Structure 1
């Protein structure tokens, strides 16, 4: 019995068939290439630019005042002589926030007394810093709690000194 050119003879039981024929390898390579070109990213991802470096500075009450979040400035506030960058909490401490009167100021007395009114702020920015000597133990404990919260969440960017002590 002869086989015709249109029919393929069946392999005998001792023969092994393989799919690794040249045409199959070519088709698999083309399929892999199509999948790669279909799924690869079209644009390279770009990393966000890092924030500008923060330099530790010495502030006086007048030099701290511009850091109130207005005109694109960062939001800083001082607690017990340390200046914190509270810009990540701009919606609380920046313009329109519930604690906006502390932005660019020494917030120690207001935080200690639990009052966020403007009366808690030192009016004479050229005078000595508030030494908080009249605070009772509960108020000092409250201030310590606020200070610890700020230390956990925000960067210390400087210290606050009285005018003339720079």
Structure 2
């Protein structure tokens, strides 16, 4: 299955299955109410994690919230390891995706995006490491070379994150003035 399709299916699972997984797995005789008795493959583990994952409604931004600009090396620190929150950037906007730790944190399907600019990977439907900017001290990814359909896919992801997660700030190039 191509990466983009896999990401779309994952997003659909995130949106559609969350309310139904518990009742479906409770009907399995081998589970007997104890989901730890099932040793599923990684894809099923992701679905099972939805059974206990309740998306948090992001708090409304108040005028006293501290909006922060982050340089890529600073963003990289927020990868979910050692109990840290999980942030990543999409088109220059930094989101706190910590409520989706099972997806974006260590061991999750999207873990390589944690602490990074995820824009190109989301646009291309790819989890590959080469979708991430290598030089964190260099310029931000300007997304050149993306097709119109990839930019449209990225806009869809951005809208989803805007709706679901709290905006922390902006990603800015090292050396750029922070606001």
TM-score range, shorter chain: 0.5 to 0.7
The reply on whether 1:102 has 2:110 as its aligned counterpart is no
SS in 1 for 2:144: coil
Is this contact kept in 2: 1:54–1:157, CA < 8 A? no
Equivalent residue, structure 1, for 2:9: none
Q: CA deviation at 1:55?
A: 2.6
Picking from 126, 150, 156, the partner of 2:137 is: 126
1:87 aligns with 2:101: no
In structure 1, what is the Cα distance between the partners aligned to 2:68 and 2:106? 23
The correspondence for 1:60, drawn from 50, 68, 71, is 71
Mapped partners of 1:118, 1:133: distance in 2: 18
Distance 2:130 2:143 in 1: 15
Which secondary structure does the structure 2 equivalent of 1:138 belong to?
helix
1:152-163 equivalence runs, <5 A? 152-163=163-174
- Distance across 1 between alignment mates of 2:85 and 2:114: 9
Q: Which runs of 4+ in 1 moved over 4 A?
A: none
Counterparts of residues 1-166 of structure 1 (less than 5 Å): 55-166=66-177
Question: What is the alpha-carbon distance in structure 2 between the residues aligned to residue 56 and residue 97 of structure 1?
Answer: 27
CA distances 1:119-161 after superposition (whole Å, capped 9, x unpaired): 1000000000000021110000000000000001001001000
Q: TM-score, normalised by structure 2?
A: 0.62
Cα distance in 2, alignment partners of residues 147 and 103 from structure 1: 15
How far does residue 71 in structure 1 lie from its aligned partner after superposition?
Answer: 0.8
**Matched residues in 2 for 1:139 and 1:54: separation?**
33
Secondary structure in structure 2 of the residue aligned to 1:148: helix
CA distance in 2, matches of 1:95, 1:54: 28
